Amino acid sequence: MRITGGIARSIRLKSPKGDFIRPSTDSSRERLFASLGTRVEHCVFLDLFAGTGACGLEALSRGASGGCFVELDRRAAKCIHENLRNVSKAIDSISTDCKVVQADALKWRPLGDIKFDIVFVDPPYPLIEKVGPVIFESLGNWIPTDGIVIFEMPAGQEYLPNGWEEFRRLGKRGKGDPTQRFLRPINRP
């Protein structure tokens, strides 16, 4: 698994041993970031259920100004720290604008009035129906009016949180690879 674009392109990402995390594939991230285009530049991101941190790290490589990785598992959080150091070296940044937080994404809350321009949400698939309402209840408060949430789930699964609209989808319904849904709150002031 590698960074697919930007300044840190081709940097290898470490992943903890075992199958308890499911990193986004290189091709899936490449398609996602091609779709996001220049929107990533200078953005602040949030990577929930971060796993290896691949989505947030990809955003950094492509010009994001900073962000936060939230991951519960200690081994995965350790890999994110290592991966962040390696990507930061490649982009010649000390990564002071990034935080790795080892916490439950369902209970974690950002400090202060920080807003995230892009939020990546990739929960364990069997828990989507359970964690979705909890996550999306708070997310609307953490993004600016033009902010977006990218929610990854299995292609055959349909879930749309109350108060949110899907305005784009990457991946095909009912096909093998996961889909990434671009969501925004409905009726934002």
pLDDT digits (tens, 9 = 90+) for 31-64: 999 999 999 999 999 999 999 999 999 999 999 9
pLDDT of residue 178: 86
- The CATH topology of domain 26-185 is Rossmann fold (3.40.50)
* 3-state secondary structure (DSSP) of residue 98: strand
Of 183, 167, 113, 108, nearest to 142 by C-alpha is 113
* Distance separating alpha carbons of residues 62 and 120, to the nearest angstrom: 15
- Nearest 5 degrees, angle CA 182-CA 35-CA 148? 30
Whether 20 has a pLDDT exceeding 80, the answer reads no
pLDDT of residue 23: 73
Its pTM stands at: 0.93
pLDDT digits (tens, 9 = 90+) for 112-160: 889 999 999 999 888 898 889 999 988 988 999 899 999 999 888 888 9
